[in-house]
Amino acid sequence: MGVQAATVAKGRQPAPSFTSIRGCESDALDSILQLARKIRAGGVGHSRRGLQVNLFFEASTRTRTSFEVAGRRLGLDVVNLEVASSSVSKGESLADTVRTIDAIGPDVIVVRHSRAGAPEVVAANTAASVINAGDGAREHPTQAVLDAMTLMDRFQIASMADLRGLSIAVVGDIAHSRVARSNLSLWSLAGANIRLVGPRAFLPPGFAEAGWDVHHDLENGLRGTDVVYLLRVQLERQHGQMYPSMGEYHRRYGLTKHRLERLAPDALVMHPGPVNRGVEIADELMTDDRCLIQDQVTNGVWARMAVLDFLLDRLEKVSC
């Protein structure tokens, strides 16, 4: 799992990292999912010692809070580095910032950055385990873990492999979504049937050619699916190639109760947040029993505790 051969401070060995789902083995992911359930059930995982540094270069509410709560519940000391008031704002490079943090001796660095690949730069400059909390439009691996956990709960299934055959429609700005990339990797590994739904501009180039089940029409994309996974329109990553208007997007791709009932009445609805109400999803669905958004947030803490615990457990061992 994403172990980096790092150039690190003298005398310290590089630790296992979790920077992407791509390249992970299903056994490792399933172990993390089982661990998350055990931790939730009160079985294990509240007696770690160590230092976790949260290094967030991009805005975040739920992910940063979730990592902070997860670390504290495990017993770790957690430090949030305020990037705006750090030396980064004076022009220090990412590598230099990380080397400085590394010299303080963290066990885990959780990093979010607007550039794809930043977690690997961090991992190459520290002996700590690195967890990717979102890098550009590339990956957000802990989101995929918490989403799998949420699906396993609702479908009452024992392991990740039981997601096989589940039909999941991912709707929206897939091209700019790191959540979509991590989830597509995990769901593919599990053998789920995935449909990609959205306007052409929001679908990554080459996906239809590569054999993905692509739909530009919401009706076809959603009909009979088990799960509708909605994505936020990523205004901050679109660099001007916007959909004509948010109202128009909602008219064509927004999920309303009426649409859900007509196309997939038993489907569960997920969204990684933050939600643009009235764009991807109608207000009325936010409190619907089929909407799992709050469960996703709650499971985020258990899933992140499991990832932290899993990595800390392997600090002295060979990684998975």
Query: Taking Cα atoms as reference points, which of 110, 48, 118 lies closest to residue 79?
Result: 110
Kindly identify the residues of this chain, within the stretch 108-137, that bind ligand ASP according to CB under 6 A.
134
In this complex, which beta carbon is closest to ligand ASP, that of residue 102 or of residue 135? Answer: 135
In this complex, which beta carbon is closest to ligand ASP, that of residue 48 or of residue 250? Answer: 250
Compute the least distance from the CB of residue 112 to ligand ASP, in Å.
Answer: 7
Compute the least distance from the CB of residue 33 to ligand ASP, in Å.
Answer: 20
Compute the least distance from the CB of residue 180 to ligand ASP, in Å.
Answer: 9
CA distance 120 to 133: 12
Compute the least distance from the CB of residue 238 to ligand ASP, in Å.
Answer: 12
What percent helix, strand, coil does the chain show, rounded to 5? 40, 15, 40
Q: Does 169 bind ligand ASP (CB under 6 A)?
A: no
SS3 195: strand
Query: Taking Cα atoms as reference points, which of 178, 204, 169, 192 lies closest to residue 280?
Result: 169
Compute the least distance from the CB of residue 296 to ligand ASP, in Å.
Answer: 10
Compute the least distance from the CB of residue 47 to ligand ASP, in Å.
Answer: 30
Which member of 117, 136, 199, 273 binds ligand ASP (CB under 6 A)?
273
Sign, CA dihedral 181-186-191-192, equals negative
Q: Does 50 bind ligand ASP (CB under 6 A)?
A: no
Backbone Cα Rg of the chain: 20
Are residues 166 and 188 in contact, defined by beta-carbon separation less than 8 angstroms?
no
Count of residues in contact with ligand ASP, rule CB under 6 A: 7
> First vs last Cα of the chain: how many Å apart?
6
Compute the least distance from the CB of residue 299 to ligand ASP, in Å.
Answer: 14
User: Is the omega angle on the peptide bond into residue 141 within 30 degrees of 0, that is, cis?
Assistant: no
28, 186, 247 from 189: Cα distances, Å: 12, 5, 36
Nearest residue to ligand ASP, by Cβ distance, number only: 232
Which member of 178, 181, 250, 304 binds ligand ASP (CB under 6 A)?
178
Kindly identify the residues of this chain, within the stretch 246-265, that bind ligand ASP according to CB under 6 A.
none
In this complex, which beta carbon is closest to ligand ASP, that of residue 30 or of residue 135? Answer: 135
In this complex, which beta carbon is closest to ligand ASP, that of residue 6 or of residue 303? Answer: 303
Q: Mask of contacts with ligand ASP, 207-246, x by CB under 6 A?
A: -------------------------x--------------
Residues facing 18 on adjacent strands: 131
Q: Does 181 bind ligand ASP (CB under 6 A)?
A: no
Length of the chain: 320
Are residues 22 and 186 in contact, defined by beta-carbon separation less than 8 angstroms?
no
Are residues 253 and 198 in contact, defined by beta-carbon separation less than 8 angstroms?
yes
Q: Does 272 bind ligand ASP (CB under 6 A)?
A: yes
Compute the least distance from the CB of residue 130 to ligand ASP, in Å.
Answer: 17
In this complex, which beta carbon is closest to ligand ASP, that of residue 142 or of residue 319? Answer: 142
Starting from the edge strand earliest in sequence, which strands make up the sheet with 213-215, in order?
213-215, 193-197, 167-171, 227-230, 268-270
Compute the least distance from the CB of residue 122 to ligand ASP, in Å.
Answer: 17
Residues that bind ligand ASP (CB under 6 A): 134, 140, 178-179, 232, 272-273
